[in-house]
Structure formats: C-alpha cells, structure tokens
Amino acid sequence: MKLLVTGGAGFIGSAVVRLAVGRGYEVVNVDALTYAGCLENVAVVSDSPLYAFEHVDIRDRTALDAVFGKHEPDAVMHLAAESHVDRSIDGPGDFIETNITGTYNMLEAARSYWVEKGKPETFRFHHISTDEVFGSLGPEGMFTEETPYDPRSPYSASKAASDHLVRAWHETYGLPVVLTNCSNNYGPYHFPEKLIPVVILNALAGQDIPVYGEGLNVRDWLFVEDHADALLLVLAKGAVGRSYNIGGENEARNIDLVKTICAILDRLRPKDGSYADQIIFVQDRAGHDLRYAIDPSRIRDELGWRPSVTLQEGLERTVAWYLDNEDWWRALQARDGVGQRLGVKA
C-alpha cells in the first residue's frame, strides 16, 4: 500500500513516516520544508526503497497534481499545516493559506485523481486535525466527536475550516475521507519552539523556564509515537466519513508538567540545586484556552486503540532523547523566530 503523507518532515508527520516505512508501507513524503520542516527527522528511512520525498508546497495545485500522477497513492494522510498557535497570533496569513487553501488544494487534487482512477472505494483521504477546534473546556467535561466546533485562535479556526472542507468533500463528492482530532503531542523531534522542548532546552542552557500566566492551563498529552500508531489504525479500519478523537488520557496542568520535566532532568543531568529554580511566570498568551481533554471512547470502543505510554514514561523518553540529540536541536534553534517570545501582540 502506498501512502502520500503531507508534512512528513514535521514533528508528527515524521513519526508517521518512520512508523509506516517500518511496517512495510510505501511512503511519499510531500513537504515544503518551511521553518518547521526538517529532513533529519526522517533520516532513518530516507535510504529505504519504500520511501520517496517530494519538495512540494500544498498551496501549489499544479505541483500536487503532478505528485498524484507520478506516485499513484492508495491513500493520503494530510498533516502539512502551520501548527504554532503563538505564530498564528502574530501572523495569521500563512495559516489561512496553508491550512485552509492548502487543504482545499489537497482535496481537489485527490478528488481529481480518485475520479480518474474510477473512484476506488478503498481510497482514503485521512485529514489530521486537532482538539483545539472544539474550543476551551472549564474544569469539568471532555471533548467528544459531537462537541460543537468553537475555535478561538487563528490556528484552531484555520484547522476547523479545513475539517469542514474535508467533510463537505465527502458529503458532496463522495470522496472517502476519515478525520482525526487529537490532543497535544510530545516526544522526540518536537520542534524547539513548543512548550516541552522549550522547558528542556532552557533548563539545560541555565536560562529562565517561561510558564505562561499562572501555569494552570490543562492539556491532555499524547506521546507522538502513540499518535502515529493511532493514525495508521484509523486509516486502515476507520469508517468512511467518520471522525475519531485521539487522546493520551494524560491530563496535566502546565506547571505540574514543567515541574515533572525538571525533576527528570535533576536525575538525568544533575547540577547544583534543582532546574525548577529556573521557572518564571510570564505574560499569558492572548486568548489562551484553559483546558482541553479528550473523551477517547469512540476510538477505544470501535477500533480497540489505547495509548501505550503514560505521561511519566513518555516524558522520561523525551528528555533522554533531547539529551542524546543535541546536534538535531542546536541546528533548529537558529531558525526564524525560535527562542523569541511570540503571541503576545493581541
């Protein structure tokens, strides 16, 4: 089976590419290599005969048609996106172009290819989205697949728009789609502007560890390799037209998460005093959603999937990976905007 994976040089997409090639799928990785893309993330599979790379921007419909024509995939896994909420606050334009127009281009290129092939029932367009489309929870409750959409940042609004387009292409044109909305991911190859790598790398550099607001925002953390496993399962077994929420069953307040990482570092890379002494509280993100939590009943009951890694285990593995892969993150720290405070303009 041949998969066309968009955004396969990013954090989650590269985990999908590595896992899929490891399981014997042929994979075509379509990525524009923006500031967030890194081919090092897929270096372990890049020599495999099962792997191909296409340096293509999903905003370029003509190039997408050529990729479909050349590789003739059996399924699409669409992950390419602008993904950083803070960047979406400072510059929403790229999010509209890539996440909405880019998804529209992907849908049209896939539809045209699928029609040309005689509309095979086995074809799939798997759209990978976020729980942020559902908005913000109070202290109680969880997001189900029936929760009304209520996006509150330019990032989540652009992802919500793309979800609606994907559903519309199924209802209107019959394109065989599946959708997933997952919670916050973490793990190896996480770009060094996101919370968990920022904590690890600032701690190691002896710098302040910034926590937004009072650190009371709650996220449901999902280990990226568990997410990749769930995505391949939904692709293979998910019902056409259906969406599945994917969560880690690992809720944590930001401040508790940061303290846990500091405690792991205290053990793995001891220094005088604790890394937790470097924690400082900084101005909150504009419109910072208080809490996200996923009710994973559907994917658990219908497809038999559960996360395999607890938050403590996943964080141990993640911290150890960053300690062992300094060359990888040092190179990315030089990229545009990394290490600067973003998302406070509004």
The strand ranges marked E within the chain are 2-6, 26-31, 51-55, 75-78, 124-130, 177-182, 185-186, 209-212, 218-220, 222-223, 243-246, 251-253, 279-282
Other beta carbons within 10 angstroms of residue 113's beta carbon come to 20
Say which amino acid occupies 90: D
In the complex, the smallest distance separating the C-beta of residue 62 from ligand NAD, rounded to whole angstroms, is 14
Q: State which of positions 177-216 bind ligand NAD (CB under 6 A).
A: 182, 184-185, 191
Joined tokens for residue 96: 């509209």
Residue number of the CB closest to ligand NAD reads 10
Q: State which of positions 85-144 bind ligand NAD (CB under 6 A).
A: 98, 102, 128-130
232 Cβ neighbours under 8 A, 6+ residues apart:
16, 19, 20, 23, 25
Catalytic residue among 54, 86, 132, 295: 132
- CB of 185 or CB of 202, closer to ligand NAD: 185
Q: Is 7 in the site for ligand NAD (CB under 6 A)?
A: yes
Q: Is 155 a catalytic residue?
A: yes
254 Cβ neighbours under 8 A, 6+ residues apart:
195, 211, 212, 215, 216, 217, 218, 219
> Is residue 155 packed enough to be buried (19+ CB in 10 Å), middle (13-18) or exposed (0-12)?
buried
In the complex, the smallest distance separating the C-beta of residue 51 from ligand NAD, rounded to whole angstroms, is 15
The only residue of 17, 25, 83, 220 in contact with ligand NAD, by rule CB under 6 A: 83
Catalytic residue among 131, 163, 225, 289: 131
Size of the residue set binding ligand NAD (CB under 6 A):
31
Q: Is 57 a catalytic residue?
A: no
- CB of 34 or CB of 250, closer to ligand NAD: 34
Q: Is 277 a catalytic residue?
A: no
- CB of 86 or CB of 275, closer to ligand NAD: 86
CA distance 39 to 47: 12
Q: Is 36 in the site for ligand NAD (CB under 6 A)?
A: yes
Catalytic residue among 51, 104, 155, 212: 155
Task: List interacting residues with ligand NAD (CB under 6 A).
Answer: 6-7, 9-13, 31-34, 36-37, 57-59, 79-83, 98, 102, 128-130, 159, 182, 184-185, 191
Q: Which residues are catalytic?
A: 131-132, 155
